[in-house]
A and B are shown apart, each in its own frame.
Chain A
Amino acid sequence: MKLTTEQQRMLDGGYGRATQKAMEILVALGTIYGAAQMVSVASVQVSGVSYDNLGEAGLHWLSAMADGGGRTRVLTTLNPAGMDIENWRALGISEEFAQNQLRVIDAFARMNVITSCTCTPYLAGNAPHFGQHLAWAESSAVCYANSVIGARTNREGGPSALAAALTGVTPEYGLHLEARRRPAITFDVEAALDETSDFGALGVVIGQRLERFKDKPVPYLRGIERASVEQLKSFCASVATYGGAALFHMAGVTPEADRYAPPDDTIVITQADLDHAQQSLTSAASDAADFVSLGCPHLSIGEIARIAELLDGRRVTKEFWITTARATKQIADQMGYTRIIEAAGAKFAADTCCVVAPIKGRFKALVTDSAKACYYAAGKNKFKTVIKPFDEVVLSAVK
């Protein structure tokens, strides 16, 4: 790999131990994937934050990087933690877990990572524009940045994203290259898509089709006339979870779609496919559910406003978590939504979500609008799941 004088100096240890380690990671990845050079990144999103996933070894490494002088060189934001940083007691998080989680947050803060603790950085201060190179982890945000914004990032892991943050660069391979962004399969969508849960189900159908390919093709979607930010974030989370997709093009919706003709190889998605996916995500009766959660990916302020509207003057009868970025919750505080929602008995879980919080086995069945949340609820946390449209999820909590 060709390195600049400064990059070589980082590799040789001239900027300290942590920066050297970071550059060693990037050079190794560049070598493996055949990058000719490094490319400067406009921003970074780091994953691997929940102590539940990191464990003591992960915390040890992050602390060593902070102690070794690691400091960010570009705007760097953080994925959700395993708990609400302020309100963890109300969510039933143990004192021991909280202390460990705070040590993780502290290590990141010492490296000047902005501890935004959200999977939707594009809604909370890390909003790149078209064509910028990024090094983002968090599969749903990677898919959103590439597809909806038209920025360019590979699907980074926690350490490789942090390495980019501490050096300001990432190896130029994969989705940084024009040729790798070309679609290779068309999906003709002939199903009604109204709800965020419908877009989640679509992500399941397309993701599972993509999984059948050895070299996953970039999908090109036709037949969707419009989609909201909330619908797109739901689709991104789902197609990344079920199909490992880091990029799609959607004719009439995403900015790079017009550059390409639809690939000849075509798969038709029918209403029956979508209905089947919704059924596959529902393994319990709605009445049997004891846990309700919205905010996977983290809720927008518009979605929180809608929850407040639906819950105004009502009482919830089930544990109901509303997961969002702290920055978004602060707008909800200011608008009075938080007061309405908490008066109804629902709980805000800022900084975290039901995927990364340590809640394995704590509930029997989850009701959500998120296909991604269903995947992790079933696999990691051993809950049964029910997927419903957004409004119905809220109303299921007050029954």
Chain B
Amino acid sequence: MFSVTSVVDWPEIVMKLQGRKIYQGTAAAEALVTSMGISFFGGVDPDTGLVVEPGHELAGQSISGKVLVFPTGKGSTVGSYTLYRLKLNGRAPAAIINAECETITAVGCIIAEIPCVDQIPIEQLVTGQLLIVDGAQGTVEVRA
């Protein structure tokens, strides 16, 4: 994750989006965006942070340290514990942004203490953008 000082050196704000707080905390990191839902249980390897769901557009990519942007969670409720396990292993995403958050992702972010915001128009976000997420305020700043 980027340190606070490095954020000061980032490009100016391009866009600021207001969403809804799911879980507090701030993060500044690169966006990893998908238009597909994510099932953390079975869909993400908790030891490596790699997406392993066959046919997923992020398959083979690492979610570790990224601001992970996806429409909504899906699959088994055990997925909340997958997020917790990723955190214990140092492989968790820096933050999560959803169009609509649901129970699995929300509970996972709270127990793993991952900043999380939803009700963001995620189609405006692109992989590789530098994002600053403020969970408590429910905001996302696009810096490049």
Q: Which of B9-17, B53-61, B77-85 contacts A (4 or more CB under 8 A)?
A: B77-85
**B36 at interface by CB-CB < 8 Å:** no
A340 to B100, CA, bound (A): 56
A9 to B85, CA, bound (A): 29
Q: Is the CB of A61 within 8 A of B111?
A: yes
The residue among A21, A25, A48, A57 with the most chain B CB atoms within 10 A of its own CB is A57
**A54 at interface by CB-CB < 8 Å:** yes
A57 to B81, CA, bound (A): 6
Q: Is the CB of B84 within 8 A of A57?
A: yes
Chain B residues within an 8 Å CB radius of A29: 103, 106-107
| Given known A28-B110, A32-B102, contact A55–B81 (CB-CB < 8 A) | yes
Q: Is the CB of A57 within 8 A of B22?
A: no
Question: Nearest 8 A-B pairs (CB), nearest first?
Answer: A57-B85, A157-B77, A58-B81, A28-B106, A159-B107, A57-B84, A57-B81, A24-B110
Chain A residues within an 8 Å CB radius of B100: 32
**B88 at interface by CB-CB < 8 Å:** yes
Chain A residues within an 8 Å CB radius of B84: 57-58, 60-61
Shortest Cβ distance from A47 into B: residue: B77
**A31 at interface by CB-CB < 8 Å:** yes
- What is the distance, in angstroms, from B138's C-beta to the closest C-beta of chain A? 10
The residue among B46, B77, B81, B118 with the most chain A CB atoms within 10 A of its own CB is B81
Shortest Cβ distance from A154 into B: residue: B103
A192 to B100, CA, bound (A): 44
Shortest Cβ distance from A60 into B: residue: B88
**A160 touches which one: B78, B82, B107 (CB < 8 A)?**
B107
Chain B residues within an 8 Å CB radius of A56: 85
A48 to B23, CA, bound (A): 23
Shortest Cβ distance from A65 into B: residue: B111
Chain B residues within an 8 Å CB radius of A57: 46, 81-82, 84-85, 88
Q: Is the CB of B81 within 8 A of A160?
A: no
Q: Is the CB of B85 within 8 A of A21?
A: no
Shortest Cβ distance from B24 into A: residue: A24
**B132 at interface by CB-CB < 8 Å:** no
Chain A residues within an 8 Å CB radius of B111: 21, 25, 61, 159
Chain B residues within an 8 Å CB radius of A61: 81, 84, 111
Interface size in chain B (residues, C-beta < 8 A): 23
Interface size, A (range): 20 to 34
A56 to B84, CA, bound (A): 10
- What is the distance, in angstroms, from A334's C-beta to the closest C-beta of chain B? 37
Q: Is the CB of B110 within 8 A of A25?
A: yes
Contact pattern, A 23-67, Cβ under 8 Å of B = 1, otherwise 0: 011001101100000000000000010000111111011000000
- What is the distance, in angstroms, from A99's C-beta to the closest C-beta of chain B? 20
**B32 at interface by CB-CB < 8 Å:** no
What are 11 A-B contacts defined by CB distance under 8 Å?
Answer: A28-B23, A31-B22, A32-B22, A32-B102, A48-B78, A55-B81, A57-B81, A157-B77, A157-B103, A157-B107, A159-B107
Chain A residues within an 8 Å CB radius of B103: 29, 32, 157, 160
The residue among A28, A31, A54, A60 with the most chain B CB atoms within 10 A of its own CB is A28
A251 to B23, CA, bound (A): 44
**B20 at interface by CB-CB < 8 Å:** yes
Chain A residues within an 8 Å CB radius of B106: 25, 28-29, 32
A55 to B118, CA, bound (A): 29
The residue among B22, B85, B88, B111 with the most chain A CB atoms within 10 A of its own CB is B111
Chain A residues within an 8 Å CB radius of B68: none
- What is the distance, in angstroms, from A52's C-beta to the closest C-beta of chain B? 11
- What is the distance, in angstroms, from B119's C-beta to the closest C-beta of chain A? 10
**B33 at interface by CB-CB < 8 Å:** no
A57 to B46, CA, bound (A): 10
Chain A residues within an 8 Å CB radius of B107: 25, 28-29, 157, 159-160
| Given known A60-B88, A160-B103, contact A54–B81 (CB-CB < 8 A) | yes
**B63 at interface by CB-CB < 8 Å:** no
**B44 at interface by CB-CB < 8 Å:** no
A15 to B54, CA, bound (A): 44
Q: Is the CB of B78 within 8 A of A31?
A: no
Chain B residues within an 8 Å CB radius of A157: 77, 80, 103-104, 107
A55 to B103, CA, bound (A): 20
**B130 at interface by CB-CB < 8 Å:** no
1-46 of chain B: CB within 8 A of chain A = 20-23, 46
93-117 of chain B: CB within 8 A of chain A = 100-104, 106-107, 110-111
A24 to B112, CA, bound (A): 12
4 extra interface residue pairs, beta carbon distance < 8 Å, beyond A32-B101, A54-B81 = A25-B111, A29-B106, A31-B22, A32-B118
Q: Is the CB of B85 within 8 A of A55?
A: yes
Shortest Cβ distance from B106 into A: residue: A28
- What is the distance, in angstroms, from B85's C-beta to the closest C-beta of chain A? 4
A53 to B42, CA, bound (A): 12
Chain B residues within an 8 Å CB radius of A53: 78
**A158 at interface by CB-CB < 8 Å:** yes
Contact pattern, A 150-192, Cβ under 8 Å of B = 1, otherwise 0: 0000000111100000000000000000000000000000000
